[in-house]
Structure 1
Amino acid sequence: MEGKVILLVIIGTIGVMLMAFSVVFFVLLYRRKMLENQLEMQEVKTRHQEEMLSSTLKSQEAERNRLGTELHDSVGAMLSSIKLNLQVTKRKEGVQSLDQVLGHLDETISQVRNISHQMMPIILKKYGLKHAIEDLFEKVSSNELSTFITLWEDPGLSDEDSLMLYRIVQELLNNSIKHAEANKIELSVYRENSKTEIQYADNGKGFPEDVLKSSEGMGLLNIKNRAQVIRANVKFSNLESGGAKVNLVIAPSID
């Protein structure tokens, strides 16, 4: 009799343990499923945010292109027509006072052309990324500022990604000139292990510490957003010798 009681106790204990294990197993399984669902939802949300960001930036570029075309084709053409009419009037009437007006008009036409080219980089479409960046560097170079492309290996980017990288370099140049007070800028682009790395450096004042911590301000947020669109990890830092350094690593596209 006592043996039967002990056997029943053992069987009951095993049963309770099995039930407990079953409850724990199903709780863990439920939590794992919930975590997987949360991760999946987060991935969907992240992809949606990335798609929204990409769509927004591409829409901005399309609007820039439209406005640049309008400036170049409409406003530029109108100004050139006004200039031609004034030149004809000057020849016929001999009005020397028009010289100053024509000078101002020439300057205005030049500024409109420069703005339209910045908004719609024709050289990028015609000659590619390298020539477009070389043109950017040439335009900002002076006796006070030297620019160098120390290495260039074709990153093999699509037209849209090339435009994003062009805008990134444009923003970096603006930072170096307006904020860093640099007199030397270097850029290298090379490929390594199917990835493309871009290194940009200047010898200016460097990034303020608070800007480095947040990676915001002075156009850095724009750079981060554009880098995200071209699948690039971006790192901002300061050189020990002084000056700012920016590294971008672009992962290969997945078709």
Structure 2
Amino acid sequence: MEGKIILLVIIGTIGVMLMAFSVVFFVLLYRRKVLENELEMQSIKTKHQEEMLSATLKSQEEERNRLGTELHDGVGAMLSSIKLNLQVANKKNDVSQLKPVLGHLDETITQVRNISHQMMPIILKKYGIKRAIEDLFGKTTNSSLSLSITNWVDPPLDESQALMLYRIVQELVNNSLKHADASVVELSIRKEKSKIIISYVDNGKGFPENVLQNSDGIGLLNVKNRAQTIGAKPIFYNEEKGGAKVDLELEASID
């Protein structure tokens, strides 16, 4: 009898130890799975950040190349022409030769102002983001595209953040012009509780589904990256009635 009791105790002890080992094993397995998931999420996040950085660098490089081309082919050519005309006028000692030089100078000044405006709109610096966007819309509006502001609450942004918002709107306008076949664009900035909602909508053909699902288009990545710098969360979607819509949610405390 005593031997059976000892045997039962031994079997029970072994059973408890097996259960303990099983619990420890499953806890370790669960922690390993959690760690693998965290590493996978971190990898996805890192890849996303790399894609955004790559898109930003590509956009900046394209901007530099474009400005370089404009300076070389536009301003550079005009300055060379002015120099040549001045040399001719100097050799001939003929003041009348200076007339075309003045015309070239006016063109050069206009082009330099245009390039400067693209880099940092003077109107943004002097009059603020609303006037700058109105100016952008006024210069973009043509017979095929109408742009308007339907509602406006001043977003709490400093000058550098306002420039980022201006670039976001500029990027979206370019998308509406180049890819959306839109005829109407509307921008609104409104307050909802503790958030400022910046909404951009056009009546074009909307975002392609693959681009919308992955948000991997260069334009969308530029918008996402710039939105991040002003603490805004971008949401991209297509409207049921047609057209693309982008909402930027910005934390704000505006009375």
TM-score w.r.t. the length of structure 2 is 0.69
Structure-1 residue corresponding to 2:110: 110
8 Å Cα contact 1:86-1:102 kept in structure 2 = no
Match of 1:94?
96
**Alpha-carbon distance between aligned partners in 2 of 1:244 and 1:43, rounded to the nearest angstrom:** 29
Say if 2:199 is the partner of 1:220: no
Q: Which residue of 2 aligns with 1:13?
A: 11
CA distance 1:10–1:122, shift in 2 (3 Å): farther
Q: C-alpha separation between the residues in 1 aligned to 2:244 and 2:3?
A: 81
Mapped partners of 1:110, 1:205: distance in 2: 36
Return 5+ residue gaps in structure 2 as ranges.
none
Residue in 1 that maps onto 2:168: 168
Q: Counterparts of 1:168 and 1:180 in 2: how far apart (Å)? A: 16
Deviations 1:91-136 (A, max 9, x none): x62248x44x654553343233212221223433443333322222
1:37-89 Cα shifts (integer Å, max 9, x gaps): 5566567664797599579959x87xx79x98xx99xx97xx79x979979x6
Report if the CA contact (8 A) 1:232-1:249 is conserved: yes
Contact 2:145–2:184, Cα closer than 8 Å, also in 1: yes
Question: Equivalent residue for 2:24?
Answer: 26
Cα deviation for residue 173 of structure 1 reads 0.7
In the alignment, the residues of structure 1 paired with residue 56 and residue 217 of structure 2 have an alpha-carbon distance, to the nearest angstrom, of 18
Distance 1:104 1:217, change over 3 A: farther
Q: 1:195 — aligned with what?
A: 195
State, as a whole percentage, how many aligned pairs show the same letter. 45
Distance (Å, rounded) in 2 between the aligned partners of 1:252 and 1:7:
73
Displacement of 1:212 after TM fit? 3.0
Q: Is the 8 A contact 2:56 2:222 kept in 1?
A: no
Kept after mapping to 1: 8 A contact 2:124/2:131:
yes
Identify if the C-alpha distance between structure 1 residues 102 and 207 changes in structure 2 by more than 3 Å, giving closer, same or farther: farther
The residue aligned with 2:179 is 179
Aligned-residue offset at 1:187: 0.5
The CA deviation string for residues 118-164 of structure 1, in whole angstroms up to 9 with x for no partner, is 12234334433333222222221234432211112223234443333
Instruction: Count how many residue pairs are aligned between Structure 1 and Structure 2.
Output: 244
Other-structure match for 1:134: 134
Report the aligned-residue RMSD. Answer: 4.4
SS in 2 for 1:156: coil
Q: 1:212 to 1:23 in 2, by over 3 A?
A: same
Note closer, same or farther for the CA distance 1:43–1:216 as it changes in structure 2 (3 Å cut): closer
Q: Does the 8 A contact of 1:236 with 1:245 survive in 2?
A: yes
Q: Once structures 1 and 2 are overlaid, which stretch shifts more, 216-225 or 188-197? A: 216-225
Change (3 A) 1:162 1:15: farther
Q: Is the contact made by 2:123 and 2:131 (CA closer than 8 Å) also made in structure 1?
A: yes
Shift of 1:170: 0.9
Mapping for residues 70-85 of structure 1, pairs under 5 Å: none
Would you say 1:207 and 2:222 are equivalent positions? no
TM-score (norm 1): 0.69
Counterparts of 1:42 and 1:127 in 2: how far apart (Å)?
Answer: 47
Q: Is the 8 A contact 1:149 1:186 kept in 2?
A: yes
**Aligned residues of 2:52 and 2:222 also touching (Cα < 8 A):** no
Distance in 2 (CA, whole Å) between partners of 1:215 and 1:112 is 35
Contact 1:189-1:199 within 8 A present in 2 as well: yes
| 1:200-250 Cα shifts (integer Å, max 9, x gaps) | 111233333443344333622322332344444333333343322222223
